[in-house]
Structure 1
Amino acid sequence: MQQPVLTVAEVETFLEAEFPQLHHGGRSVMVESVGPMTARLRLIADERHLRPGGTVSGPALFMLADVGLYVAILAHIGPVALAVTTNLNINFLRKPPHGDVIVEIRLLKLGKRLAVGEATLFADGDVEPVAHAVGTYSIPPAAK
């Protein structure tokens, strides 16, 4: 199983430099871990992530899945800003309560040009997922 080439701190530094908009309005996405073909991130959901009714919104969950997959891929190929999402499908399974959301990422394929992974999202402390996504990313030719 392929090991990451970047640490959590290196991924966080890259995101701060290349994607400062991720933390617009205050830092809310934290990279908790990277491992062999995996990553785990946390969304510290605040008012900007909520929809009417007080639950974490679909767009916030979609963003967390997309960023999580991107982080897992970068942790394994290095700081390649131009690796891009080519497809992301998400299924919303249940309403997440207002609170932190965890995404657990598993890379299914990490090739020279494409990476495929899945994202399972949980309300912090729950065992039942609130959403599940599968994504494909294009890796630029010089990246690997």
Structure 2
Amino acid sequence: MPPDAGAAAHFRALESLYAAAPINRLFASRLEIPEPGIARISFDLDERHFHAAGAVHGTSYFKMLDDAAFYAANSLVTDRFLLTTAFNLLFTKPLKAGPVVAEGRWASGRRRVFVADARLIDADGEEAARGTGTFMRSQIPLGELPGYRSR
């Protein structure tokens, strides 16, 4: 079911917020929120993301899983920025250079604490990692963040 106009504007504003985050100058990526509770981040990995043994370092796994789960949860909250309070990560396959998609999905909670899952899918369509995060409402109003704006 397509989101209503208010929800769609919120999703576009969250996508702008993601694009404006300074950390994403180091991790070229694109966020898409197609519906409430769902977030997808497309990104490419290359040798800049490798550890000494020639595979992708865990920082890339964590960052993209956390972001996908976070934005899936924050898609359900229109007034406040959420904060990650815990995140569990399971590595299931080493990632190589190439395109990857992080898929986030809200799992539970709607008041103060939210739980969302995420997984990384490599270019072959195989899962490389999964994680679960816990997020809580902060005192930071979304509307006051410089990147949060409708396109």
Secondary structure, aligned partner of 1:32 = strand
CA-to-aligned-CA distance 1:36-95 (integer Å, 9 cap, x gap): 3211111222333222343222110100011111211222212633x1101100000111
Is the 2:18–2:31 contact (alpha carbons within 8 Å) kept by the matching residues of 1? no
**How many angstroms apart in 1 are the aligned matches of 2:76 and 2:37?**
7
2:111 corresponds to 1:90: no
Q: 2:132 aligns with which of 128, 131, 134?
A: 134
**Distance in 1, Cα, partners of 2:48 & 2:91:** 19
Structure-1 residue corresponding to 2:15: 12
- Give the % identical residues: 24
**Secondary structure, in 3 states, of the residue corresponding to 2:45?**
coil
For structure 2, the residue ranges without an aligned partner over 5 or more in a row are 142-151
After TM superposition, the score normalised by the length of structure 2 is 0.77
Aligned to 1:50: 50
Distance 1:31 1:79 in 2: 19
Letter in 2 for 1:12: E
Distance in 1 between the 2:102 and 2:79 partners? 21
Q: By how many angstroms is 1:30 displaced?
A: 0.8
Q: 1:140 to 1:54 in 2, by over 3 A?
A: same
Partner SS for 1:77: coil
Q: Which amino acid aligns with 1:69?
A: A
Aligned to 2:24: 23
SS in structure 2 opposite 1:51?
A: coil
Q: TM-score normalised to the size of structure 1?
A: 0.80
Please report how far the alpha carbon of residue 107 of structure 1 lies from its aligned counterpart in structure 2 after TM superposition. 0.6
Question: How many angstroms apart in 2 are the aligned matches of 1:142 and 1:51?
Answer: 35
Q: Counterparts of 2:71 and 2:48 in 1: how far apart (Å)?
A: 22
> How many angstroms does 1:10 deviate by?
1.9
- Alignment CA distance shift 1:141-1:114 (3 Å): farther
